[in-house]
Amino acid sequence: MNPVVSEALASRVERAEIETLRSRLEAVRGRVGNPMGVEIRKFGDATAFVARNAPGPSFNTVKGVGAAEGERIPAIASFYRRQETPCRVEVAPTRASSDLFAALADRGFV
């Protein structure tokens, strides 16, 4: 059976989504006084986005999370706690693993 989307294409789409959000939030962060409270931090392949003063959760998210980031989940969770901001962790199906989900669950991401 041929997959509808190859792993390479899924990876390209994920990277494009990360770079689009990064570009958008960097522009917002560049406003005088950073009124939205934007922070962006890399954790391996994962990118954590924070917009403390944005309505809704869509900008407070971690993208690019894969199996290699499992050991970084405590640092990611700590980063968001310091920001006093709840977050969502997005895992692309091609990057999912039981070890990653266990690491996320251990930190309360369910």
- List the domain boundaries for the chain: 7-106
Three-state DSSP at 88 gives strand
DSSP 4: S
As averages over each run of 10 residues, the pLDDT of the chain (110 residues) reads: 79 95 95 95 96 86 92 93 91 91 89
Using CA atoms, how far residue 103 sits from 5, 42, 95, 107, in Å, is 27, 18, 14, 7
Residue located via tokens 């789409």: 13
pLDDT number for residue 58: 83
The conformational region for residue 4 under phi > 0 = left, psi -120 to 50 = alpha, else beta, is: alpha
Which DSSP helix (H) or strand (E) runs through 40?
strand 38-43
What is the value of pTM for the model shown? 0.89
**Euclidean distance between CA atoms 2 and 20, whole angstroms:** 29
